[in-house]
Every structure is written in structure tokens, then in C-alpha cells.
């Protein structure tokens, strides 16, 4: 629903909401950001070699500003083991060297400096569960049981190293203080350069045996180390588990975590249309669960990532652009720091193959990470087209189309940023509507800096509804169109009537 007058109203209202203080820059107080998940190899080619690089990211910082994101998570950029199937970057050979395909350390410095000028935070993928079997630590460890690096890894009595993941990735021994110190030195190296923080890969695989306690203790120490170095530093962990009872325990570490349960709930209820009537109560339940562990938890919701088939190629979503847009509306009105997977804002497709041969390569998950579609000379060509995006419009084509997916993401991101209760509020309460396919929730914040509240209403159906709330409509209108959203301002002194 494109309503320019409403959008202008949102911008004006953001300065008038109850309790807002005009002289405060809330982004300096709260950790919340809107992150863009970026696979450098597929994003923007600055030198014509067909491979995305760091300079391509720097040269397109205008794009991120236009879209409205405030942070970028770059998938692994460190030197990685060679080979087509290691293009993902998770088989680290040297943490203190940049993948030569992407550029140099000076290129990273330049990117960080330019991003900082635009108040865009950059976090790096920190892969510390394992290294490549070509890392110098492992090459030393293989020399024998007396080698000083032997205890950097887990070796069986037969001399083989333990690997949680295939493809020459061997697990580090995180019980070893020498390994921990190596990791903290790597963290310090990049924090000193101006990196805002880290996405920590494969947290649930850190330790064998009783996992959650050991994993959480390590993440607590890592998070504290980052915060000691930079109080504004951000750590978000990947615990790939749909059981929110398990994930909630990780919040004892004080770090943030990706919300796989929410991702699955939105896909099920919005993409597939299954039991839409309990979406809001399901969300409230999980947030209350997390809040019992850490009251001021910072969630990291998302719709898709590099380990999943793209939204537009996923069951349910693939048949309905309206449902995909509705999922975006929900993502960008939830608490926390939402993450957007690159290319989803163009409605790109992509899915996993099981050993198909495309362009002379045997492929698996590479097409979940295929080239961003620019429509200009920044287009990367490292991966031959599989035809899945032949009909996907490029950024150049979408940016001037007000109904495009790009402009829908842009609108919802800027809506979120303009309403403090959406951007910074942590409290969430389900609000019961008469119609089962109309789901609503209250988002609010009440602290020493800010008091503000909104009612968010989503119509997850193809039926039009009329709303009868006598509130200020910040977005949408009383005429709630199919698969559309309305955001209403709640006077803070009336909040109790809605929760």
C-alpha cells in the first residue's frame, strides 16, 4: 500500500510521539539496527573480474542509504581454502588476511571509514567453531602429539581430527585457553579497525557433551570481551534451532541471537496460510520466554539467510508476492534488530541443488547465494545463471516502480526507523481481533529516554476489513486492504486499555 501522504505523516509524527525528546539521538542510546546480510562475492564487482569485492561494497554505500538499512553483516571475508565449493568462505585459512578475491586489508579499512561517515555499522562473520584443514594451526597440529598446536583441535586416539562440518573444516578446541586468546586477539584486531561487532557462526556446535551451558559460558566471555573493548559493540550468535526453549537459555550470555522460531512461524502462517489466527500469541509466547531469561534481550529476527532457500523460492511464498510483502511487514514491525538477506529486496529466487551440474560445476547450495541483480556494470558473473532469476527485475528497473519489492522494503524500513516504538521498543503484547486472519500486537517502550506505543494490525487474508479504532493512523487506514498493514499510535496514558 503506497501512500505518500501517510509516509510524510509518519515522518512528522515521529517528532510528536508522546514522551519523545527532540534533543536525543536514540540511535546513540539503543543497540537496535536494521541489518543487511551481504555475500561480498555476489554483490558488486568494482574491477571487472566477475567477482564481488570490498570496493564494490564501498562504491555502493549510497544503495544502503537509499534502502534505509543502518548496518551490514558481511559473510566471511577472510582468506579461505581454495576451490569452488569453498566460495562460501567458511573454511578459514587466515583470520588476519582478506580473501584475495575481495581485495586487501586496506580496502576493508576504506570501507569501514566510509561506512562510518554514513552511520552504517559493519559486523563481520566470525567463524570460530572450526578452521580449514589448511590453516597454519592445523598444519602444525598434524605434525605430532608433541606439537604445541596439537591441542588447538580435537584428535581421536587414532589421530583423526573431529569435524562437525564436512569439506575440510576441522573443529577448534575452545576449551584451550591458547585458542581462546587467539580468538580474542582476532576480535581486538578488527574492533580496533572500527568493526562494530560480529556474527558468531555455529554456536551450538562449539562443545561436545552438555552443550548449552558450555556454549553460553563461552559466548558470555566473548560478548564481555567485545563490550569491554567497545561498549557499543554488537555480538549476534547463530544457534540454528527452532526450539525457542533451547535458544532462550543462550540469552544468559547477554548476546543477541537469530530467531529461527520466528522465521518458521512467519513462513508457516503467512507463506503457507497455516493457523494464521495464533500468530500474535505465538510471538508473544516466545518473547515472554526470552524475557524471563534476559529482560532487555535484543532479538535478531529474519525471513531468510544463506543457509536456506530464498523466500521467493519457498513453499507458500513462491506463489504470492502479496504474502511475501506481508512477511516483510511483520519482520519490520517486530522487536530487535531485523536482518534482511541481500537480494530479497529484489524478490530474487534461489534454492539448493543436490549435485546438479550447471555451467560445468557440480552445485549444491551455491544458488542460494547467486549474484545480486544490479542491471549495470556492478553485476557479478562468478556463478553461471541457472535461469531462476530470468524474470526477476533488476535494481535499476525496480527503483522507479513504486509497487516493486525494492520500494516495499524501502518503505517499511523507513517506517520502522521513523516510529520509535517500532525501532527501539522491546515490549510486545498480542492484541485480539475479531477476525482470525487479522493479527495485531502492541509494541511499546517505556524508559528514562522514551515513552511511546503503537498498535500494529496485519490483514493476512484476501478479504478487505474495516477498522473502527479512533486512533491516529501512522500508516495505513481504517480500510484494511487484503495483505496490508496499519500502524496506529496509542496515547501512552491509554496503553493499559490495549495490553
Q: Which of 328, 416, 304 is nearest to 32 (CA)?
A: 416
| Residue 48 backbone class (left: φ over 0; alpha: ψ -120 to 50; beta: rest) | left
The pLDDT, as a whole number, for residue 324 is 98
Q: Which of 109, 108, 152, 147 is nearest to 133 (CA)?
A: 152
Q: Which of 440, 458, 448 is nearest to 499 (CA)?
A: 440
Q: Rounded to 10 degrees, what is the CA torsion of 55, 57, 59, 61? A: -150
Contact (CB, 8 A) for 350 and 366: no
> Which residues make Cβ contacts (< 8 Å) with residue 229, sequence separation at least 6?
187, 188, 191
Regions of the chain short of the pLDDT cut 50: 1-18
Q: For residue 79, how far is the Cα from the chain centroid?
A: 23
- Burial of 344-374, coded b for 16+ CB within 10 Å and e otherwise, reads bbbbbbbbeeeeeeeeeeebebbbbbbbbbb
Contact (CB, 8 A) for 339 and 302: yes
Q: For residue 409, how far is the Cα from the chain centroid?
A: 14
Contact (CB, 8 A) for 95 and 186: yes
**How far apart (Å, rounded) are the C-alpha atoms in residues 31 and 14?**
19
Long-range contacts, stretch 115-119, CB < 8 angstroms, 24+ apart: 115/58, 115/61, 115/72, 116/194, 118/61, 118/64, 118/65, 119/27, 119/70
**How far apart (Å, rounded) are the C-alpha atoms in residues 318 and 250?**
33
Q: Which one from 101, 107, 215, 238 is the annotated catalytic residue?
A: 238
Residues in the chain: 499
> Which residues make Cβ contacts (< 8 Å) with residue 350, sequence separation at least 6?
309, 310, 313, 343, 367, 368, 369, 370, 388, 389
The pLDDT, as a whole number, for residue 169 is 97
The pLDDT, as a whole number, for residue 84 is 92
Contact (CB, 8 A) for 148 and 154: no
**How far apart (Å, rounded) are the C-alpha atoms in residues 35 and 55?**
19
Element (H, E) at 58: helix 54-58
> Which residues make Cβ contacts (< 8 Å) with residue 81, sequence separation at least 6?
91, 93, 132, 133, 134, 168
- Give the predicted TM-score (pTM) of the model: 0.94
DSSP 372-390: P--SSTT---SS---STTT
Which set of grid coordinates corresponds to residue 407? 520500494
- Cα dihedral 117, 30, 243, 458 sign: negative
**How far apart (Å, rounded) are the C-alpha atoms in residues 48 and 54?**
13
- Burial of 325-335, coded b for 16+ CB within 10 Å and e otherwise, reads bbbbbbbbbbb
User: E strands of 101-203, at which residues?
Assistant: 121-126, 130-132, 169-171, 197-200
The pLDDT, as a whole number, for residue 208 is 78
Contact (CB, 8 A) for 436 and 465: no
Q: Is 494 a catalytic residue?
A: no
Q: Is 201 a catalytic residue?
A: yes
Q: Which of 71, 157, 107 is nearest to 413 (CA)?
A: 71
The pLDDT, as a whole number, for residue 466 is 97
- Burial of 129-148, coded b for 16+ CB within 10 Å and e otherwise, reads bbbbbbbebbeebbeeeeee
Q: Tell me how far CA of residue 88 lies from CA of 39, 83, 310, 365, in angstroms.
A: 8, 10, 16, 9
Residue for grid cell 556494470: 377
Q: Which of 123, 113, 125, 126 is nearest to 61 (CA)?
A: 113
Q: Which one from 53, 79, 125, 201 is the annotated catalytic residue?
A: 201
Amino acid at each position: 500500500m503506497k501512500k505518500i501522504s501517510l509516509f510524510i505523516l509518519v515522518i512528522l509524527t515521529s517528532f510528536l510521539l508522546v514522551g519523545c525528546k527532540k534533543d536525543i539521538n536514540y540511535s546513540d542510546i539503543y543497540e537496535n539496527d536494521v541489518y543487511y546480510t551481504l555475500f561480498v562475492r555476489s554483490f558488486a564487482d568494482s574491477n571487472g573480474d566477475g567477482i564481488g569485492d570490498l570496493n564494490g561494497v564501498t562504491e555502493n554505500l549510497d544503495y544502503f542509504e537509499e534502502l534505509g538499512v543502518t548496518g551490514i553483516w558481511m559473510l566471511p571475508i577472510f582468506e579461505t581454502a581454495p576451490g569452488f565449493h569453498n566460495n562460501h568462505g567458511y573454511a578459514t585459512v587466515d583470520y588476519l588476511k582478506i580473501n584475495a578475491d575481495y581485495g586487501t586489508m586496506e580496502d576493508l579499512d576504506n570501507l569501514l571509514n566510509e561506512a562510518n561517515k554514513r552511520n552504517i555499522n559493519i559486523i563481520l562473520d566470525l567463524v570460530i567453531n572450526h578452521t580449514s584443514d589448511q590453516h597454519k594451526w592445523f598444519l602444525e597440529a598434524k605434525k605430532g602429539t608433541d606439537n604445541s598446536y596439537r591441542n588447538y583441535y580435537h584428535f581421536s586416539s587414532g589421530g583423526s581430527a573431529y569435524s562437525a562440518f564436512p569439506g575440510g573444516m576441522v573443529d577448534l578446541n575452545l576449551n584451550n585457553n591458547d585458542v581462546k586468546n587467539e580468538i580474542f586477539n582476532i576480535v581486538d584486531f578488527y574492533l580496533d579497525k572500527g568493526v562494530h561487532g560480529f556474527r558468531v557462526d555455529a554456536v551450538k556446535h562449539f562443545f561436545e557433551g552438555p552443550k548449552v551451558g558450555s556454549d553460553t559460558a563461552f559466548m558470555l566471555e566473548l560478548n564481555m570481551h567485545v563490550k569491554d573493548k567497545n561498549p557499543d559493540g554488537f555480538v549476534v550468535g547463530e544457534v540454528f534451532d527452532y526450539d525457542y526453549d533451547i535458544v532462550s537459555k543462550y540469552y544468559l550470555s547477554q548476546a543477541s541471537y537469530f530467531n529461527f522460531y520466528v522465521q518458521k512461524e512467519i513462513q508457516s502462517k503467512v507463506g503457507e496460510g497455516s493457523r494464521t489466527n495464533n500468530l500474535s500469541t505465538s510471538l508473544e509466547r516466545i518473547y515472554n520466554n526470552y524475557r524471563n531469561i534476559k529482560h532487555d534481550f535484543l532479538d535478531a529476527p529474519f525471513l531468510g539467510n544463506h543457509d536456506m532457500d530464498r523466500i521467493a523460492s519457498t513453499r507458500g511464498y513462491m506463489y504470492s508476492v502479496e504474502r511475501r510483502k506481508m512477511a516483510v511487514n511483520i519482520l519490520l514491525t517486530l522487536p530487535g534488530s531485523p536482518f534482511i538477506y541481500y537480494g530479497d529486496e529484489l524478490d530474487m529466487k534461489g534454492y539448493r541443488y543436490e549435485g546438479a551440474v550447471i555451467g560445468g560445476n557440480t552445485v549444491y547450495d551455491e544458488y542460494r547465494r547467486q549474484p545480486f541483480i544490479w542491471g549495470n556494470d556492478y553485476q557479478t558473473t562468478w556463478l553461471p545463471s541457472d535461469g531462476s532469476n530470468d524474470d526477476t527485475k533488476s535494481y535499476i528497473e525496480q527503483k522507479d516502480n513504486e509497487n516493486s519489492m525494492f520500494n516495499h522494503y524501502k518503505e517499511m524500513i523507513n517506517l520502522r526507523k521513523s516510529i520509535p516504538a517500532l525501532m527501539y521498543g522491546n515490549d510486545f503484547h498480542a492484541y485480539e481481533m475479531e477476525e482470525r486472519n487479522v493479527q495485531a500486537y502492541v509494541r511499546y517502550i517505556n524508559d528514562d529516554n522514551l515513552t511511546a506505543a503503537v498498535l500494529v494490525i496485519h490483514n493476512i487474508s484476501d478479504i478487505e476489513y474495516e477498522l473502527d479504532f479512533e486512533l491516529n493512523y501512522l500508516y495505513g487506514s481504517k480500510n484494511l486492504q487484503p495483505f496490508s498493514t496499519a500502524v496506529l499510535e496509542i496515547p501512552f496514558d491509554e496503553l493499559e486499555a490495549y495490553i
